[in-house]
Structure 1
């Protein structure tokens, strides 16, 4: 067999050559769109690569991005790794200090930034130590970026006059292709480096029928940010499969997404549950919209409420499929595709799990001493994972103890049943241990969100004099709805054992979220500790 490297350049050549007429459509706001073909995208990537060469990117230097999901970001996704550099997506929702920490640790040389994000990038620039050039898209006013030694250039100026062909070098498939950093909810973010090989294999598996079944018949809508674990691999999978792409740019509210879905008719989309919850509530308040072009919605990042899946399927004809992964797993590791021929009850039980591992990924649960536990659906332990697109260590060797066993210790707690389906009950740091027994905050949250009057619900453990910890329910009610803690507790009473029922309740306008849309339980606990919440105790 030929020893043919699995690289981003191979994906680029296939996408822009074999599927050159496929289209990337980017939202511009208020119902406007602009489009480019894969062939044109390839030419843009070649021009960008030449421009980056001229700026001194000649080896595996890091090229940062500070961008929304759009065609220009996709061009960097292709150009930087294919030319031998390393794509480094920066999370625009972190603080200036965290962004600077990440860019400095990764030693970014160039940052490609969206013009609309200039105000967010400006306070970061004085803190940077290795970046020498910022390239700004969209012809934006860049005056706010002045005052440092960093050169600021326009994206169009960098590309102007450059050849539309590039001699993409032969790259070792095990070389670094991209970097992402964890969201840093506990301490500083940690870097994960993806190889060309890991990215290729992850994309290939994502296209399989047991995962998302991406094909040239699809129109793929990556709502999940391209800085969040490489948009869950959706962009590279679409390029590999020859699917059209629809990019939402910065227009991520429920109404804008519904308009986009109705006009562009995507068949496959991916986003965290909070996005789909916003879309659902917008649809409920404004009936008559049609989003049924979506054959499949990939949903993850946090547990997907069963009620959300059922409402989308029953009322809107949209199938939501839960998946699980982390920045460290590229990210998709398991997919909740039910087995054929099972009862309806078992079908929904499987849908409610985080799913079974994709081929190539191995999973297990272990006890506190690291001993493997049985996959019997009852034993509960920390999930460990390994495989060809699972990181073997963090950048610069940080937190090396998480990899001591040759497996990645995920920090997720849960169980595995005899069919291989994983059910996660909590993050290890979020487990509520009451009187020596575990209470699943995730299960309580999903049940509460199933109440018709509840918009959002987060549950955390708070100190208790008698039981060490007890659950606090933090609830956002639907507009115009009034419910008491007693009513919500009664709603839970026949669904969980009695000692799981929260005695402490607080109603808020919005649950704090992390930079990637998950509930920020660290902030919730801090606000409770400082007395910021008005808590009702039953």
Structure 2
């Protein structure tokens, strides 16, 4: 067995052993907070055992993948842990995805069953799953028992068919962010799950003993599921929010004295715009963010206002989580000179920049495609990002490699277009896409969200841009109330492209009717 496979097997055994130690049905230690009430580790164990009982009754065992539709609720955590303990690889999916996409994913990945919250078993979904002959395990929003729909026959076990996965290697399947199209699912091996040597033996601790972890990002993402499993592996309690709610998040920071945590850049912008008093974050020693690109000017403004160091991290679903990040020590020594960087390679990680055409390594400071070799892995992962490593080994991400629009033969970087409009004092947020054009092939287009109280028109923004860049870089512009966001709080570019295409048509009709 290759070393990487051996490591995955060993890591899997260690993680499942840790879960068996934590899921004690007699434990009254507070584990999960949701909607104002606590669930104990004993409650979680009860719910996990109930879900396992239903899966066993369906004939589902190690290596049989199931589609796990997740909300940030105790029952979902219990179902996730139940699958992991029994080597049943869960295919993670957010409840926010359309029902049609849920069914398509179940079919494409040939799952053996679907696990979801009772609240999400509605509309056309029951009939759609019944037509696929897929059994459904329903879990309650709290930590009650799970049930199978339709029920298992009294005269025997239902044998569910589907593909088989080597669950000694693969822990789960995690969706990509889907910002440019339908999310793809990436297999996550056991050795990419967060479980340190110290935390593996630490007893479960309630919120009074150790500050809990606030979980606002969806568990159906690499950032969210690693955060949950890292907390669980360390025996720490979790505060579960069903969505990013800045006010509720801040209240939890105050109440529990949270020292380390963070939210996506869009939430950081909202906290500044609503002028949340800095004293409410007085317990925090570090703010961690990385689920979406962070504009350096936003970081500087946030740090100055709240007085909390912002530690940026970079990673992807394909790399199994963060591969580069800042630490407090790096922030102290390098922040002013390296603002805009996503930090240095994490311990055990190797980063390399390669030429986009030749696939050969480039010199320090030269841009190219970012390659990453995660800790403990012998395999290089080719990311979709352009980046550079400077002489001090700091990583600067320049944007997606596929974010270039060819406008009449001229290349326009959508990342550069977004960076341009972020400099405008009236703009709070911006997203750029390429739109098809009969004459030019494609043209850049941006949707801008204005700061509270700001008033500026697309024509005024266009004139402002013309003064700063060459003409072919000036995009079509629409002012939007909000940008469409995916479950991971990145701009959903597929949705934005449709919104902007419709907005441009409306603008053209308006111009035509006024002439």
Q: What TM-score bracket applies, with the shorter chain setting the length?
A: 0.7 to 0.9
- Alignment-derived partner of residue 476 in structure 1: 449
Contact 2:179/2:490, CA 8 A, preserved across alignment:
no
Matches within 5 A, 1:267-282: 267-281=259-273
- Alignment-derived partner of residue 246 in structure 1: 239
Name structure 1 gaps, 5 residues minimum: 141-148, 154-170, 208-214, 393-405
- Alignment-derived partner of residue 95 in structure 1: 98
Deviation at 1:304, TM superposition (A): 0.9
Matches within 5 A, 1:81-480: 81-119=84-122, 122=125, 125-126=128-129, 129=132, 131-138=134-141, 150-151=149-150, 174-186=168-180, 188-199=182-193, 202-204=194-196, 217-229=210-222, 231-248=224-241, 250-281=242-273, 283-284=274-275, 287=277, 290-337=280-327, 340=330, 346-377=334-365, 379-388=366-375, 407-432=380-405, 440-446=413-419, 448-449=421-422, 451-461=424-434, 471-480=444-453
- The worse-fitting range, judged by mean Cα deviation, of 480-489 and 51-60 is 480-489
Q: Distance in 1 between matches of 2:190 and 2:424?
A: 45
Q: Distance in 1 between matches of 2:427 and 2:112?
A: 46
TM-score normalised over the length of structure 2: 0.78
Deviation at 1:178, TM superposition (A): 1.1
- Alignment-derived partner of residue 27 in structure 1: 34
Deviation at 1:247, TM superposition (A): 0.9
Deviation at 1:511, TM superposition (A): 1.8
- The worse-fitting range, judged by mean Cα deviation, of 367-376 and 300-309 is 367-376
Contact 1:321/1:351, CA 8 A, preserved across alignment:
no
Q: Distance in 2 between matches of 1:151 and 1:279?
A: 46
Contact 1:222/1:269, CA 8 A, preserved across alignment:
no
Q: Distance in 1 between matches of 2:124 and 2:17?
A: 33
Contact 1:413/1:427, CA 8 A, preserved across alignment:
yes
- C-alpha spacing 1:10/1:97, structure 2 compared with 1 (3 Å): same
Q: Distance in 2 between matches of 1:272 and 1:121?
A: 33
- C-alpha spacing 1:67/1:527, structure 2 compared with 1 (3 Å): closer
Contact 1:257/1:279, CA 8 A, preserved across alignment:
no
Deviations 1:148-187 (A, max 9, x none): x95269xxxxxxxxxxxxxxxxx99842211122244555
Q: Distance in 2 between matches of 1:100 and 1:436?
A: 41
Deviation at 1:34, TM superposition (A): 1.3
Deviation at 1:275, TM superposition (A): 3.3
Deviation at 1:255, TM superposition (A): 3.0
- Give the match's secondary structure for 1:425: strand
- Give the match's secondary structure for 2:402: helix
- Give the match's secondary structure for 1:324: strand
Deviation at 1:438, TM superposition (A): 5.7
Deviation at 1:366, TM superposition (A): 1.9
- Alignment-derived partner of residue 481 in structure 2: 509
Of the candidates 507, 521, 525, which is equivalent to residue 493 of structure 2?
Answer: 521
Q: Distance in 1 between matches of 2:196 and 2:211?
A: 15
- Alignment-derived partner of residue 211 in structure 1: none
Deviation at 1:439, TM superposition (A): 5.1
- Alignment-derived partner of residue 6 in structure 1: 11
Contact 1:76/1:87, CA 8 A, preserved across alignment:
no
Paired positions, count: 477
Deviation at 1:225, TM superposition (A): 0.5
Q: Distance in 2 between matches of 1:338 and 1:471?
A: 38
Deviation at 1:519, TM superposition (A): 1.5
Contact 1:298/1:323, CA 8 A, preserved across alignment:
yes
Contact 1:12/1:42, CA 8 A, preserved across alignment:
no
- C-alpha spacing 1:26/1:483, structure 2 compared with 1 (3 Å): same
Q: Distance in 2 between matches of 1:430 and 1:501?
A: 13
- C-alpha spacing 1:258/1:452, structure 2 compared with 1 (3 Å): farther
Deviation at 1:227, TM superposition (A): 0.6
Contact 2:286/2:311, CA 8 A, preserved across alignment:
yes
Q: Distance in 2 between matches of 1:255 and 1:498?
A: 42
Deviation at 1:85, TM superposition (A): 1.1
Contact 2:422/2:429, CA 8 A, preserved across alignment:
yes
